[in-house]
Structures are given as C-alpha cells and as structure tokens.
Amino acid sequence: MRKSCIMTGLVSFALALAISLPASAQTSTTTPAQPIIADENKQMDAVRSDTSLTTDQKIQKANQIRSDASPKIRAVLTPEQLQKLAQLQEKAKQQRENQGTPASDSQKPQK
C-alpha cells in the first residue's frame, strides 16, 4: 500500500503533463511542465533506489518532492488545464476510496 502512495503522485503529475497539451502535440512538443516532471521523476527514482532509507522515510521524502513540484506545475497550467487536473484528481480519489486506500495529505487536490 505504501508503494502505491509513492506511485500515485507520479500518476498525478503524468496526468498534469497529459492535459497540458492537445493530443496532437503530445509526442513532439516540449511543454513548460515537462522539465518539472522530469526533475520530480529523477528525484523519485533516487528515493526509491536509496537503500539507506526506511519505507517511512521514503514515503516522507516522496511526499515532500510532490509537494514541492505541485505548485510549480500548477503555475504553468491554464485555468482549463487546472480544472481538468482537479477532475482527474477527484476521480482518482474516488477510485482510492472504493479500493480502501486513503490518500496522504500531499495527494489531496490543492486549491
């Protein structure tokens, strides 16, 4: 379950990337969110591969990485994209609730 908490953040930001471009441009254009997401992914990979950290420490670091990246990503999204992101996050929240997996504070939609 804890591993899924770390992955949920990555999914959220992948969704942010996906909604930041029209479908026709997603394969060939760089968006302002892509470097932010790439940096977040790099940091998450480092946390996952750090064998000196306990699971709880990894979760704490992953949550911090997400909370640092989230406002940066939100800053480059349009109002329409922010609305779409909020809808996707709500849908993910409902799916987690149906599966009995609580969301951490950093995974809850920010306003």
Q: Write out the chain's pLDDT in tens, 111 residues.
A: 445 554 455 455 555 555 554 554 455 567 888 999 999 999 999 999 999 999 999 999 999 999 999 999 999 999 998 999 999 999 999 998 998 755 555 555 444
d(CA 13, CA 74): 10
pTM of the full structure:
0.61
Under 8 Å between Cβ of 17 and 34: yes
Residue of 93, 104, 5 lying closest to 48 (CA atoms): 5
What is the rounded end-to-end Cα distance, in angstroms, of the chain? Answer: 26
Under 8 Å between Cβ of 15 and 88: yes
